[in-house]
Structure formats: structure tokens, C-alpha cells
Amino acid sequence: MLVGSNITFRVGSKELISDISASFAPGGLHLLVGPNGAGKSTLVKVLARLLRPQTGTVEYEGVDVSQTSEAELAKRRAVLSQAIEIAFPLTVREVVMMGRYPHFSGRPGPTDEQIVDEVMEHFDVTEFKDRYYQSLSGGERQRVNFARVLAQLWSHSAVDSCRYLFLDEPLTFLDIRHQIDFMKRIRSFTKDADVVTVGVVHDLNLAARFADQILMLNGGRIVAHGTPAEVLTTERITHVFGVEPTMVQTTDAGIHLIFN
Amino acid sequence: MTAPRRQLLLIALVAVTLLVLVASIRYGAIDFSIAEISRALASLLPGRPEPTLDQRIFLELRFPRAILCLLVGASLGVGGTLMQALFRNPIVEPGLVGTSSGAAFGSALFFVLGGVFHIGASLWSLPIAACAGGIISTYLVFLLARSREDGRASIVMLLLTGLAVNALFMSAIGFLSYIARDPQARSITFWSLGTLSGANWKSVEIVALTTILGSIVALRYAKQLNALMIGEEEATYLGVNVNRLKWIILSVNVVIVAVATAFTGVISFVGLVVPHILRMLGGADNRFLIVGSALTGATLLTLADLIARLSVRPAELPIGIVTSAVGVPVFIFLLRRRQYVF
Amino acid sequence: MKRLIVLLFSCVVLFAAGCARFHNAPTDAKDARYVVISPIYNEIIWALGAQNTVVGIDLSTTYPPEVKNVQTVGYHRALSAEGILSLHPTAIIHDNNIGPPQVVQQIQQLNIPMKTFTAKNDSFDGTKALIREMGAYFHKESRAEELCNTLDTQRAASLEKVKQYTDHPRVAVIHFGRASNVYLVVGKGSGGDGGGVSQMIELAGGEMAVENTGGRGMQRMESPEIIAKANPDVILLTDYGYDRLGGSTDQIKALPGVATSNAARDNRIFRIEESVLNYFGPRSGENIAKVAEIIHKK
């Protein structure tokens, strides 16, 4: 369980997020939505402990995470961001292996090698393993990054502690097919009972389709937190985003939003 | 390239370095045969007759020069790798980014002030002065070139700032040459083009210490430098304390390059060319690169010194001319390949 | 590396009896081999006819033309110990103007004899003393006396010729310092390298236009005021500095302060060999007339 309490984060005199409290249970996909500047990305970075809030605490399994060392944290917390820029010739396998860095010092062991192979297989990037990351397309690169992040969190043994996956707008630069493919993979990963997954996406339809819980932010504050049906109401969306949606309900896949 | 192949490559590099070392101690204004070299070395043993002049030339001039050349080449090679990892751009090296000229300035200033204030030149005071100069100039560039949010220095800013800082410190050296009484400080050619003619065992000791220690420290952080390649944020998520890493690597980088520069003057382009060759051969893993660039840098600089000593013998070319003659075309070639993120 | 040394050492032990190949200098003490690092010393040695003993010269030695046949060891302030020693000299002759310092140290530590002559060629008398001192060193005493007499005769003749000129042009001499990579103006009076130049100009019937500051003899052209205040009638550039600008009058006039001078206006800017003007030597007697001719050219 990931719990954030009374989090405020300021840059200079501007408060990016104000007094936010929320908890995120494992086993489901939590998505943050909101207009530009709402503080979604900042909140994710605070929860992932990249940023330190001026006030408030972040707890992983009841432990205040500000006391944990970087190295320790890296073993069970991973962040998938937008596509990264690499200026050096790294092969796909080398990039994925970086996910295992928190788990070994010196050279990778056979476990690490095996995990990397498995994870590349899982994301269909094994065929690329000796190609340079720079030579891949956007969609292929994100699959590689996802593989890396997963390698960081991969656990063979019986689960000893909860793991935390954060997604900071990972769908940017991906086309629609890859976006949906991605969300499906994330969904299947998060079904694992011991992973807390918190992500930021822009597309409300994707959020509606794939999220178990939605946290809507506006102006650095929580506007609503609940299931998609609870949160995504016409009035709320109109008020927060400034556009009026038409809601369409389908039997299998839930809510769809159509904007004029 | 797989790990075993990389190891083979490193072993091959060691062999090449040794070969080149042998050539370096054999050939020059005077050529020594293997027999003569053995006799010279044998003369060091107790009970042997005093060494002849030629043997002394070998023991006191040629041999330390060859070793110093290896060490300086290694430190410049490693310096290039570290700088490229730090700035996350493959088109930088200590010469372009102001470290060498800052170190040269520190050294020149030491000679000038040393004359004025009668500071005794203890063995270590010169290298320390060089480090101070190198730290100031590198930090200046580092600070001025960080214009992007992700903290990565845009390569254009880096090169331009490096250009400016280089110009600043080289003109400062010119000014020192102007006011200096000390003949060493007055020789601006020495500083700007570099030479190994002043090599002696004392300088070998000092440079060996900094180069070897510095490389060992760098190797310990190689894995973290790898992580840095995919971004500062990403590296943090992988458990790296990025700020601490930067400071440590920057310091190691400056120290090994500055100390070498204090004894040989500014030698450019070695740090640029060497990591590139290695990346082409064996990929971008910093563990491989650090060891490989030490060896390749040592080899290349020794070859350059051979050319400097043989091409117009018995006179000598300043070694900076040779490294620039090779390095500049390579630099231009790399720029034009357009594989770099600017 | 250690293994290599051990291996080599074993080979030496095995072949110690056999190998007797030496790469070294002739052990015959009568064979004098000198590396001479000074243009004036070399000029005098050639004039004395002792050039067979010279095995190495410096880059700045250019007179007489026969020096081309001798190996050069490089620029006198950027020497290499090994390079010099590869010629197996019995002594190194220099005029206290060699560098870099660590190379000088290396040579000293190897106990190579280094020789400087006490007499200095800063005047005619000094030059004669130097010629005689060098004559004694190279066992060419009679030739040395001949040179001194010639010097006196030619000087007298030149001074006679100089009397024909009625004007005393104000002359500025610009020299290019290679170690410091800048142009220098020679100041009037004694001190530093400027002493010789001043005397030559004055003997040739001219007047040094630029005052001497700081007693250094030569100063950098850092401000246009130096030349502008002096406003010389004639400007002389020594050969290297002149050739460096391609002899282009435009580029010369671009040097600080030159463009506004009388010399620039009248186009009285001339090239002169450093060896003719800058220091006294065996040819200085006749050089006075040469200098006079140049500075009085209209």
C-alpha cells in the first residue's frame, strides 16, 4: 500500500501540489488525470521519491520513504517515463540489463541474465537484443524501456515486499496501436497482487478503459478519487477540462467519452 | 559485442601497448638495440661498472619518457571517457572543454608567483596548482553550459563555452608569459603545444600515482556512469546518487588530466578520439571503456611521441602538433556523421 | 613488463661474452665534436675556419649559408636532450640562451661539458675580444687576429662612407621574438639585445627613435603610442618578422602605431637581416655601411 499524506510541493513561491492525501492499493491500476499544469507529473515524482515535498509524507507499507536509501528503494520501485534519449551506442540488451543494476554490484549474475531474457521475451524485443537502441522506432523503444523497468521489479522468489511501479506519461510519442497495446500490458502486469501501479495519462478514454481507480487533479488539488464511473461525470469533466463530453456506455468495456 | 570478445580485445590492446612501448624505448634520436637496453638495465645492479653516457641517456631520459608517455596517454584517454560520460555527449574531451588550458594556466601561474613569492617548488606543489586551475576552468564550463531542464548540457553550449574558456585561459597564459621572469613560464609554446622532453622519474612517480588511483576510482563508479547514460532521472530511479557521482567523477577527471598537463603542457584530442575508437570496437559499457581507453590512449600518445621524435631528428616536434594533425580531421569527421544529439 | 625485463636479462647473461656491438661516440679524444647553439658563435667559428668541429647547430643559425650542411637540433628555447646527445658531442657551446630549463638540467645531470665564452659581442671591442677568445679555444689564433684587423679596417672605411650622408634619420627597429610570438620594438641605448642595434644605427648615421624603457632593450608593441610618439623617419624590420607578414606593406602598417608615422607616409619601411643589425660580429665593419645605405634610402 502506498500512502501519501498532506503532500505539498513548491517551486519558488508557486505551489504545484497542495495538501494532497491519497492511498493506492496494490493489485490495480491507478491513473492520474487532469489538465496541463494540474500537478500530475509532480505528484508522481513525489510519490516515486524523485522529489521531496516541503510538507507531507510518503509511506511505502507504512514506512516513511524519505528515510530509505536510494539503493534500497531502487530494488522495489521503478519509474517508466517518456522515451529517453541516449547519445551513446547502447544495445537493447544493455539497456534492459540496466534495470537489474540495483540488484547486483560488479557483474550481473546468472539470475540477472535470465530475468533479462525473460523480460525481453515478454515484450517481444528479443529479436532486437543486439541492435542499437537508437535505431529503434518510438514504439519499439518504449517496449524496451518497459522491459527494463520490469526487469528492475521482477521477482522470482515468493513475494517479500510490495513493489511500486510509476508511469510518468509513458504513452507520449506512441501511436494509437502502441498506446493500447501498452496499456494492456500494464494492466496484465498490475493484476499481480503485490504491485502498486500509479500512472499519468492524458487520454481520458484510455483512463476510462483501463484504470481501476482514477485520481483527478486540478490546480494542484484532488478533485475526485474513485472508480472511473464515479469520477468521470459530465459536469466534472466539463468543469475541470473546459470541454463537454458525451458519455457512451458499452456493455463490455465501460465508459467511452466523445468530445465535440 | 559479447563480454568474452571484449576481454579478448582488451588483452589484444595490452599486447599492442607493450609492443609500442618497446618501440618507444628503442627508437629515437638515438636507437638502442635490445642488447644495449639490457646492458643499461644491468648497470643498475650492485657491483656493476658505472653506466656509460648512452646508458645514462637511456635510463634517465628515454626510459622515463616512454613510461611517462604511456601514463599521460592513459590519463588523457580515461579523462576523455569520463568527460563524455559526465556530460553525456560523445563530442567532448578535456582539451576542448577547458580542463587542459586551466591546468596549464595553474601551472604557469605557479611558476610566476613562485618566482615572486619565492615559494619553494616542492614535488607536489606544481601538480596541486595545476589541479586548482583545471578545477576552476572545468567547473566554469560545466556551470555555464547547463542550459537544459534535464540537466544535460547541450553540445553546442558545451563546445562554445569550452571555446570561450580555452581562449580565456590561453590568453591568461600569454599575459603570464609577458610579465614573467621565470623562463619556464615565458615559454608559451611549451604550454600550448605540449612536449614530453622534460620527463624524469620524479614526474613519472607523480603521474603514475594520480593516473592509476584515478582510474581505479573511476572503475568503481563505471556501473553508475552507465546508468547515467540513460538520463539523470532514470539513473536516480536506478539508485544512483547523481549529484555525488558527478562531483566524484568530475574531480577524478580534472585531477588526472591536470596533473598530466602540469608536466607536459596541453595535449589535445587524445581524449576525444580514443573513446570513439573503443566504442566502435566494443560498445559503450564504461567498465570496458575506462580500461580500454587507458590502454589505447597510452598507445596512441606513444605513437605520436615516436613521430614527434623521429620525423625531424635530432630535433623534435611538439607533440601537440602531431595529436592535432590526427585529431582535428577525426573531430570533423565525427561532427559530420550527424549521429549526435545536439 | 617485469617478465620482459627478466627475459632480456637472461639473454644478456647468455650472450654477454659474444656481444660487443657499440653504438657510441668515437672514443678518440682528439675528435672534438661541438654542438653550438648560438648564431654569432657559429658565424665566428665559420669565419675562423673551425667549422669541421661543429656537428650540430640551432635553428636560428643561418649564416654563413654553408651551415645548412650541419644538422640542426631545433629551436634554442625548445631543445631536446636526447636529440643533442645523439650527435655525441664532446661539449655543448651556448650563449646562456637555451631552454627549456628541464632539458638544460638533464644535460647538466649527464655531466656533458657546457661552454660559454666570457667575452660578449656587445660592442666592437667586445666582439674582438670574443673573436680572440674563440680563436684561442679552437686553436685558430692567427686567423682570429686577421679577422680583428679586417674588422677594424672595414669599420674605418664604413665610417668614412657614413660621413657623406648629411641627414640623421630617426630609425625604429622592429624585431619578431619567436619564443614569445610577438613583435618587439628596440629601444635606444644599452641593455639587453638592444645594445648592438642602437650602436649600429648610430654608427650608421641614424638616431634611435624609440626611447629605452625598463632597461630591457626590447619592448612589446602593446600600444600604438610607442611608435606614434617616436614618429620615426625610417622603420626597419628584421628578416623573420618582415617575411612573416609576407613583406606586405599594408600588414606592416597595421602594426600598432606604424600607419601614422613619417616612415609609413614616405614608404621608408625596409627589411634587414637580423645577422646584419642585431649583434656585432665579424662582418659588422662592413655592415655599418650597409645599414647606412638602407636607412638613408629615400
3-state secondary structure chain A: CEEEEEEEEEECCEEEEEEEEEEECCCCEEEEECCCCCCHHHHHHHHCCCCCCCEEEEEECCEEHHHCCHHHHHCCEEEECCCCCCCCCCEHHHHHHHCCHHHCCCCCCHHHHHHHHHHHHHCCCHHHCCCEHHHCCHHHHHHHHHHHHHHHHCCCCCCCCCEEEEEECCCCCCCHHHHHHHHHHHHHHHCCCCEEEEEECCCHHHHHHHCCEEEEEECCEEEEEECHHHHCCHHHHHHHHCCCEEEEEECCCEEEEEEC
Give the closest-approach CA distance of B226 to chain A in angstroms. Answer: 8
Strand bridging mode C218-220 / C182-186: antiparallel
| Same domain (yes/no): C172, C283 | yes
The pLDDT value recorded for residue A38 is 86
Using CA atoms, how far apart are residues C125 and C99, in angstroms rounded to an integer? 29
Question: What sign results for the dihedral spanned by CA atoms C57, C59, C62, C65?
Answer: positive
| Same domain (yes/no): C175, C249 | yes
Q: Write b or e for each residue in A178-209: b if 16 or more Cβ atoms lie within 10 A of its Cβ, otherwise e.
A: bbebbbebbbebbeeeebbbbbbbebbebbbb
Whether residue B236 and residue A70 make contact (CB cut-off 8 A), yes or no, is yes
Domain count, chain C: 2
Using CA atoms, how far apart are residues A129 and A123, in angstroms rounded to an integer? 12
| Same domain (yes/no): C107, C164 | no
Q: Which residues of B touch C223 (CB under 8 A)?
A: none
The pLDDT value recorded for residue C26 is 35
C-alpha cell at C46: 665559420
Enumerate residues 72 to 91 of chain B having a beta carbon within 8 A of any beta carbon in chain A: 88-90
Enumerate residues 176 to 205 of chain C having a beta carbon within 8 A of any beta carbon in chain B: 179-181
Whether residue A98 and residue B279 make contact (CB cut-off 8 A), yes or no, is no
Interface size B-C, in CB pairs within 8 Å, comes to: 130
Using CA atoms, how far apart are residues B134 and B127, in angstroms rounded to an integer? 10
Q: Which domain holds residue C55?
A: 34-116
Counting as low any pLDDT under 70, the low residues of chain A are 156-160, 193, 252-253
* Burial grade of B166 (CB within 10 A; 0-12, 13-18, 19 or more): buried
| Same domain (yes/no): C272, C222 | yes
Whether residue B38 and residue C8 make contact (CB cut-off 8 A), yes or no, is yes
Please indicate if any CB of chain C lies within 8 Å of the CB of B29. yes
| Same domain (yes/no): C163, C287 | yes
CA angle A132, A133, A136 (to 5 degrees): 100
CB contact at 8 A, B258 and B133: yes
Interface size A-B, in CB pairs within 8 Å, comes to: 69
Domain membership of residue C166 (yes or no) is yes
The pLDDT value recorded for residue B220 is 93
Using CA atoms, how far apart are residues B53 and A221, in angstroms rounded to an integer? 85
Give the closest-approach CA distance of C10 to chain B in angstroms. Answer: 9
Position B156 pLDDT exceeds 80: no
**Long-range contact set of residues C14-18: C-beta below 8 Å, sequence gap at least 24:** C15/B35
Q: Which residues of B touch A101 (CB under 8 A)?
A: 223, 226-227, 238-239
> Between A101, A106, A134, which is nearest B238 by CB?
A101
Query: Hey, what amino acid is at A178?
Result: H
> Between C73, C112, C180, which is nearest B186 by CB?
C180
* Burial grade of A80 (CB within 10 A; 0-12, 13-18, 19 or more): buried
| Same domain (yes/no): C105, C158 | no
Domain membership of residue C140 (yes or no) is no
Using CA atoms, how far apart are residues B323 and B100, in angstroms rounded to an integer? 14
Task: Give chain A's domains with CATH numbers.
Answer: 1-76+161-233 (3.40.50.300), 84-158 (no CATH)
What value does the mean pLDDT take over residues B26-49? 84
Q: pLDDT for B249-308, tens place per residue?
A: 988 998 999 999 888 888 888 988 899 888 888 888 999 999 999 999 999 999 999 999
The pLDDT value recorded for residue C16 is 38
Q: Which residues of A touch B229 (CB under 8 A)?
A: 86-88, 90
- The residue of chain A with its CA nearest to that of B220 is A106
- The more confidently predicted of residues A84 and B1 is A84
Q: pLDDT for B62-96, tens place per residue?
A: 999 999 999 999 999 999 999 899 888 888 888 77
Enumerate residues 214 to 253 of chain C having a beta carbon within 8 A of any beta carbon in chain B: 220
Domain membership of residue C130 (yes or no) is no
Domain membership of residue C213 (yes or no) is yes
Domain membership of residue C25 (yes or no) is no
The pLDDT value recorded for residue B307 is 92
The pLDDT value recorded for residue C195 is 66
Counting as low any pLDDT under 50, the low residues of chain C are 12-29, 191-192
Domain end point (choices C68, C100, C116): C116
> Between B89, B239, B340, which is nearest A101 by CB?
B239
Q: Which of B50, B29, B37 is nearest to C110 (CA)?
A: B50
* Cβ-based neighbour number of residue B48 at 10 Å: 10
Domain membership of residue C226 (yes or no) is yes
Q: pLDDT for B88-118, tens place per residue?
A: 888 888 877 788 888 888 888 887 776 666 5
Please indicate if any CB of chain C lies within 8 Å of the CB of B279. no
Do chains C and B meet with 3 or more Cβ pairs nearer than 8 Å? yes
| Same domain (yes/no): C92, C161 | no
The percentage of chain B sitting over the pLDDT mark of 70, rounded to a whole number, equals 89
Helix (H, G, I), strand (E, B) or coil at C156: helix
Please indicate if any CB of chain B lies within 8 Å of the CB of A13. no
| Same domain (yes/no): C215, C278 | yes
Please indicate if any CB of chain B lies within 8 Å of the CB of A63. no
| Same domain (yes/no): C76, C152 | no
Which residue shows C-alpha cell 645531470? C109
Whether residue B230 and residue A98 make contact (CB cut-off 8 A), yes or no, is yes
The pLDDT value recorded for residue C19 is 31
The pLDDT value recorded for residue A213 is 92
Using CA atoms, how far apart are residues A131 and A91, in angstroms rounded to an integer? 5
CATH code assigned at C155: 3.40.50.1980
> Between B239, B241, B284, which is nearest A88 by CB?
B284
> Between A71, A87, A95, which is nearest B90 by CB?
A87
The complex's ipTM works out to: 0.89
Domain membership of residue C230 (yes or no) is yes
Task: Give chain B's domains with CATH numbers.
Answer: 3-337 (1.10.3470.10)
- The residue of chain B with its CA nearest to that of A148 is B238
Q: Which of C195, C257, C253, C206 is nearest to C230 (CA)?
A: C257
* Burial grade of B149 (CB within 10 A; 0-12, 13-18, 19 or more): exposed
- The residue of chain B with its CA nearest to that of C59 is B315
The pLDDT value recorded for residue A85 is 81
- The residue of chain B with its CA nearest to that of C97 is B183
Whether residue B239 and residue A86 make contact (CB cut-off 8 A), yes or no, is no
The pLDDT value recorded for residue B155 is 67
Please indicate if any CB of chain A lies within 8 Å of the CB of B276. no
Domain membership of residue C136 (yes or no) is no
Whether residue C12 and residue B35 make contact (CB cut-off 8 A), yes or no, is yes
